[in-house]
Amino acid sequence: MKIELISIGTELLTGKQNSDSSFIGDALSRINLELSRETTIPDHKKQMTSLLEESLKRADIIITTGGLGPTFDDLTREIVSETLKKKLIFHDSILKKMRKHFQRRGLVMPEINRKQAYVIEGARIIPNNVGTAPGMIIETNEDKKKKTLILLPGPPGELQPMFLKSVLPYLKKYSKSYLKTISFWIAGLSESSVAEKVEPIIEKYREAEKIEFAILVHLSIVEVKLKIRGKNQKEMNEEISPIKKEIKKVLGNNLFSEKTKKLEEAIGNLLLRKRLRLGLAESCTGGLLGNLITDIPGSSCYFQGSIVAYSNEVKKKVLKVRKTLLRKYGAVSKEVALAMASGARKSTKADIGVSITGIAGPSGASREKPVGLVFIGLIYPGERLKIAKEYHFTGNRQNIKYRAVISALDLLRRNL
């Protein structure tokens, strides 16, 4: 069962926020399916038509995202209709639903949205509860082979719930029960260090050819992924359990989860279990750490808040960092990191205080304090634990911010 993804839109020319394949690939793996390819093309009719024709030859299931919007450059409906030689049918019920969608927000539906009420003949409609464009599932025959086309809108906020609620249950019938994927999520080790630890195990078990391995990096997080094929669940579990054991042994405390790639989620669970509340003081990261932590639903149970002390005035006024400390050691120093962590704990009334202060660049550096220098502080109540660690990160401003945040989470995790 070959599944291809086609992302339509002028994203090729300009900032696309996220690759759709990331979400769709993840979702498909839950039912043991996988994408064989993702292609992104601009919304030019000729290019879209020839890609669709190519894909129809190669794949059994084609998922498209984008091009279902209301404007003149949204062409997916028309191109699929022409390529499959199926009519577009107007649905009054969709139009009514769209008018209601605008009414709820106190708006009148612009007439150009009317176009979105047209659906390919014979298609199953996927309702869109967030935006206006409905999705479609089309079953058809090309050269006597059964092909399925699934058309979805581009915006992730619409695509994602539609995929989970309607597409995944539909595709379940194609699920191969003999494929299983397992991930190990690692923080605090580089890709090559993880590879050195894991490769002897991989070499040993890869011979069987039932198991595939991959090592992936997500900036500061490394993932070791296994895919195993087998006749049934029991056989696969028997095969995988000694490998899992060996991998866990070599990774040790660097492994932070087998369930989530999000370090902030793993830490949330730890804080919740230990009934500890966290408060932050962020300087160079500007709020990124608080933002990541609050991306996790329910984080209000353990997250008190963050003092983003970008200016020294806020460090002094809110975090009570002493003027003499700032003058003597500078804002980017071990001493100030500790004072900030202590201030974070007190001002947010938390149990644990974590601080980040550093130079994200491109400017602000000196000879003694280069771009990428970051100090992370950690303080427990009654100074039971009091750590300040120095880091040197590479990359651009955003990379340095992200690496600092992941390192702060990892330092916290190792001391919880």
Closest C-alpha among 141, 137, 160 to residue 149? 137
Rounded CA-CA distance 406/416 in Å is 15
Between residues 132 and 407, which has the closer beta carbon with respect to a second copy? 132
Please state the closest distance from residue 112 (CB atom) to a second copy, in A: 6
Rounded CA-CA distance 133/118 in Å is 10
Residue with token string 């933002």: 291
Closest C-alpha among 150, 161, 154, 107 to residue 133? 154
Confirm if 224 and 213 have CB atoms less than 8 A apart.
Answer: yes
DSSP per-residue string spanning 330-395: -SSSHHHHHHHHHHHHHHTT-SEEEEEEE--SSSS--SSS-TTEEEEEEE-GGGSSEEEEEEE--S
Between residues 138 and 319, which has the closer beta carbon with respect to a second copy? 319
Under DSSP, is residue 309 helix (H, G, I), strand (E, B) or coil?
coil
Between residues 15 and 382, which has the closer beta carbon with respect to a second copy? 15
Please state the closest distance from residue 347 (CB atom) to a second copy, in A: 6
Residue 55, phi then psi, degrees to nearest 5 = -65, -35
Between residues 138 and 293, which has the closer beta carbon with respect to a second copy? 293
Cα–chain center distance at 115: 32
Antiparallel, parallel or unpaired: β 278-282 and 303-308: parallel
Cα–chain center distance at 383: 35
Please state the closest distance from residue 85 (CB atom) to a second copy, in A: 25
Between residues 34 and 78, which has the closer beta carbon with respect to a second copy? 34
Please state the closest distance from residue 125 (CB atom) to a second copy, in A: 20
Rounded CA-CA distance 264/81 in Å is 45
Please state the closest distance from residue 299 (CB atom) to a second copy, in A: 8
Between residues 138 and 158, which has the closer beta carbon with respect to a second copy? 158
Please state the closest distance from residue 241 (CB atom) to a second copy, in A: 22
Please state the closest distance from residue 70 (CB atom) to a second copy, in A: 5
Please state the closest distance from residue 292 (CB atom) to a second copy, in A: 8
Between residues 138 and 331, which has the closer beta carbon with respect to a second copy? 331
Confirm if 278 and 306 have CB atoms less than 8 A apart.
Answer: no
Indicate the angle between helix axes 397-414 and 263-274, nearest 10 degrees.
30
Cα–chain center distance at 40: 19
Q: Angle CA(84)–CA(65)–CA(166) in degrees, nearest 5?
A: 90
Between residues 4 and 230, which has the closer beta carbon with respect to a second copy? 4
Rounded CA-CA distance 161/57 in Å is 29
Between residues 109 and 416, which has the closer beta carbon with respect to a second copy? 109
Rounded CA-CA distance 81/88 in Å is 7
Please state the closest distance from residue 30 (CB atom) to a second copy, in A: 12
